A and B are shown apart, each in its own frame.
Chain A
Amino acid sequence: KAGVTQTPRYLIKTRGQQVTLSCSPISGHRSVSWYQQTPGQGLQFLFEYFSETQRNKGNFPGRFSGRQFSNSRSEMNVSTLELGDSALYLCASSRTGFSHEQYFGPGTRLTVT
């Protein structure tokens, strides 16, 4: 079974631009969560989507948004990029049900210059 895939793997953007990252979950998984990983703040939860609905959201500004499609693929968008948005963005998927583990993708390394 294919794992979680994320595209692109690396991205360089300029401050003020916007960016869209994509995540394809494991087949059969309906929940997708996004995390930001930085050396200073560690791993922080951004949001979770299930059946095209955002169920949970972390403490990030409104510049960070996401969505999920009917095939469970998810995208996250960051508008008006700031230097501090430079990070590894990780996507994780899990099946329906309340006890399932999350499986992570390889991440997208975003650099904002």
Chain B
Amino acid sequence: AQTVTQSQPEMSVQEAETVTLSCTYDTSESDYYLFWYKQPPSRQMILVIRQEAYKQQNATENRFSVNFQKAAKSFSLKISDSQLGDAAMYFCAYRSALSAGGTSYGKLTFGQGTILTVHP
């Protein structure tokens, strides 16, 4: 079974600065997907960024980028130019790429989450 570990229960950052959230995972599979989700106090889970394991290039989405180290099974999220609206719980998630007939058995395995506080 796959496991996802977020070792930082809480992180804080000053507005406009950069912060990195850590995530490690354990799997015996070679093909999978990794995601970062953001859950603000409103509780709506929002997809921030995703990474396909077969891609060596790190994914980026505007101010959000990842450092994907497949051999180390590490998947960290860097938030640049932090904004007050970035304050939320961030979850790292894993999904197997195993599929049959072109469809996915899309179970997401989540880490415990990291609460990010942004100070003005």
Q: How far is the CB of A100 from chain B (nearest CB, A)?
A: 7
Whether A97 contacts B104 by the Cβ 8 Å rule is yes
Q: Collect the chain B residues with CB atoms within 8 Å of residue A105's CB.
A: 44
Whether B35 contacts A101 by the Cβ 8 Å rule is yes
Residues of B in contact with A, size category: 20 to 34
Say what secondary structure dominates the interface of chain A: strand
Output the nearest chain A residue to B31 by Cβ-Cβ distance.
A98
Whether A88 contacts B43 by the Cβ 8 Å rule is yes
How many chain A residues touch the partner (CB < 8 A)? 28
| B→A interface (CB under 8 Å) | 33, 35, 37, 42-47, 50, 52, 91, 97, 99, 102-113
| A→B interface (CB under 8 Å) | 31, 33, 35, 42-45, 48, 50, 55-56, 58, 88, 90, 92, 94, 96-107
